[in-house]
Amino acid sequence: MFDTKFRFIMLVIFTSVILKVIRSSNATLIIATSLFEISLLYLIYAGFSACEFKQKIWKICSNVTFYVITLIIGLISIAQSYFIDQALISKYSIFDMSVGIFYFGITNIIPRGLVVLALVLIVVVIYLNSKYDGTLRKYLGVIKSLNRLEKTFNLPKVRSVLIILALILVILVPILFSSNFSHPFANQLLETPIEGEVLVDFDKLDSILVNESKVNLINHQITDFSIDLPENHRVLVFVMEEITTQDFEEDLSLIAEEDNFFSLTRDNLHSYTNYYSGNQDSKTSIQAMLYSIFVPYESYKYLDWVERYDVKVRSQQSVLRLFGLNGYENVFSISSVDLPWAGGYRYPWDSRITIAEDGFSEDDPDYLCLHELQYQRACDDLKIFSQIEEVILENDNLFLLQEMVYGHTQTYEQMYGLSPMQYYNNYLMEVYGFLEENELLENTTIIVLADHGSKSVERMNELEAYHIPFFVYNSKFSGFVDDTLYSHVNFKDILLYELGVSEEIVSNDFVYMVGATASNLLGYIESNESYFILDESKSQVVSSEGMGEERILEEYGVFLSYIESFADDSVFVRG
């Protein structure tokens, strides 16, 4: 019972549990996921232990297969343990993963040191486990409780009971703890009930006539670079991380009016109340903003995702070119050492504000600095605020976009005790105070929006998850509300209108969208009363309003046609 295989799965479970305890205070989540993993690994152990091969070659193959499978499950468990609270929100399933997502996760998300350390320890333990098997068995045998167990019970019966118990737990744990349970091996087993489901026969797609003219209306690429932008003006764009309009309103209601940036500036604030994120990912969302191009792929899903969309998008002209031609300094800022793809080194910025390599320390006495994500060593956004102040003072014509860090991991919220909107409000008050003190409010336009909405699996099935806040402040404005339907591909249109160089904001009155990585979701919106969201992997409509089978198939057909046009570049041609 305490052979090398059993001791190895105990090591995997022990490591996973310790990491969960360190990373999370959610006791229910720790217990539920640990019980599930113990049961799953024990069933694998029991299955391989039942196979007794006489031939040496088959024994070797069986042992290698066992350790490979256990190692994969162990690494996934450890990875999930590291991001356990975030895993509860995302509820990804291993069945929905792809090679591209797995590769991206290993190379960019999980800290490389953690992966290397885990692999080294596993190899060492496997070696020691085999080499000193007899000694370890003898040591375990002197423990009285284990001796008593083997003497009192018939070992095969004990194993049978344990197998039955493990089977029951593997089935029951996800069901009993479904509201606060997340494990990539179980999530697809938990069906989310769909109220008022529209049944769609996707085999009928071939008979649907696609509106090809609609395909060419989706993007809003800039084509006129002769536009004259205002002189002596600063445009400051603050991109908040993962905020829905619902979250925005709920959080701001907790802030006193005198401390609320949006209350303080309401008389000079333009509010766009029907603005949506077409992509539930920071990278593709900011691409859509800068290039006015809708990216119809989930980020990182394919090994060749750079060629699939990133290279294609970056080969186009962005709004940055227009600002550059008008003598503006284009500046990207993020409070991290490593530049993200979203707005980083691959894009035509004139300069970038980041944290210097030697300026990052997780023991920073003034700011919370984290290295939770392998590709991002980041700190509180205020760490680079003095640099932002300098670039504002130094440039009469400035286009600055700051991608906010707060919210990328839940640790910021836990450590500060502030919701994202409470934090962002405080940050915006700092910006406002600085501009007021330096008498720069009159010649500055401030844009505040979210990169995307909620990535929670349950919330992404609903329209509200894609509904995000969008505000524009200028001291010369009179406050108004625009409830026209827009998305990130309209960012450029709204920006030029607000700067007074465009007479109108062109809207198509529809928005196509895709869910977060590995969600397999795509959708279409015409209004709150007319939309659908479907799961491509299951060919199932997960949420809809006011749209029957034929309309859903028509718009899905347009989406698929757009992907084809995106792949052959024809979708980028716009009159």
3-state DSSP call for residue 244?
coil
Q: What is the pLDDT of residues 351-403, one digit of tens each?
A: 999 998 888 999 999 999 988 777 778 999 999 999 999 999 999 999 999 99
State the pLDDT at residue 305. Answer: 86
Q: What is the pTM of this model?
A: 0.87
User: What are the backbone dihedrals phi and psi of residue 438, each rounded to the nearest 5 degrees, phi first?
Assistant: -100, 10
Pick from 365, 368, 385: nearest CA to 431: 385
Average pLDDT over residues 242-263: 92
CA 346 to each of CA 311, 430, 549, 560: distance values in angstroms, whole numbers, following the listed order = 10, 30, 42, 28
- The model's confidence at residue 85, banded by pLDDT at 50, 70 and 90, is confident
State the pLDDT at residue 529.
84
| CA–CA separation, 10 and 204 (whole Å) | 51
Please tell me the predicted confidence (pLDDT) of residue 141: 55
User: Are 234 and 431 within 8 A, CB to CB?
Assistant: no
pLDDT for residue 289: 95
Average pLDDT over residues 404-410: 85
Backbone φ, ψ for residue 455 (5° rounding)? -100, 5
Residue that is written with structure tokens 């300069």 in the block: 351
> HSE-up of 62 (CA within 13 Å, CB side)?
17
Per-residue pLDDT tens digits for 96-139: 778 888 777 777 777 777 777 777 777 777 777 667 666 666 66
Q: Which CATH class is domain 212-572?
A: alpha beta
| Element (DSSP H or E) covering residue 371 | strand 369-373
CB atoms within 10 A of CB 316: 17
Distance (Å, rounded) from C-alpha 352 to C-alpha 55?
63
Mean of the pLDDT values across residues 29-54?
Answer: 87
Give the best-scoring range by mean pLDDT among 16-20, 100-104, 236-240, 413-417.
236-240
The owner of tokens 């007319």 is 530
Q: Give the separation between CA 361 and CA 369, rounded to whole angstroms.
A: 6
Predicted confidence band at 429 (pLDDT cuts at 50, 70, 90)?
Answer: very high
Range in 81-95, 132-146, 376-390, 518-532 the model is least confident about: 132-146
Token pair in block for residue 114: 């953690």
pLDDT, one tens digit per residue, over 256-286 is: 988 999 999 999 999 999 999 999 999 899 9
Q: What is the pLDDT of residue 140?
A: 58
Q: Does pLDDT of 23 surpass 80?
A: yes
Average pLDDT for 158-166: 86
- Does 151 score more than 60 pLDDT? no
Mean pLDDT, residues 301-314: 88
Structural contact between residues 510 and 525, judged by C-beta atoms closer than 8 angstroms: yes
String of DSSP letters for 420-469: HHHHHHHHHHHHHHHHHHTT-GGGEEEEEEES-----HHHHTSGGGGB--
Q: What confidence score (pLDDT) does residue 513 get?
A: 96
With bands split at pLDDT 50, 70 and 90, how would you rate the model's confidence at 154? low
User: Rounded distance, CA 200 to CA 540, Å?
Assistant: 7
| Per-residue confidence (pLDDT) for residue 83, from 0 to 100 | 81
In this model, does residue 202 exceed pLDDT 50?
yes
pLDDT of 575: 41
At residue 195, does pLDDT exceed 80? no
Mean pLDDT of 336-341: 72
Confidence at residue 149, expressed as pLDDT on a 0 to 100 scale:
56
Amino acid residing at 291: Y
Q: What is the mean pLDDT of residues 474-503?
A: 95
Q: What is the mean pLDDT of the chain?
A: 87
Question: Residue 540: pLDDT above 80?
Answer: yes
In the block, residue with structure tokens 């999370």 = 24
Give me the residue spans of the domains in the chain.
Answer: 4-189, 212-572
Contact yes or no for 288/219 (Cβ under 8 A)? no
Do residues 409 and 372 touch, judged by C-beta distance below 8 A?
A: yes
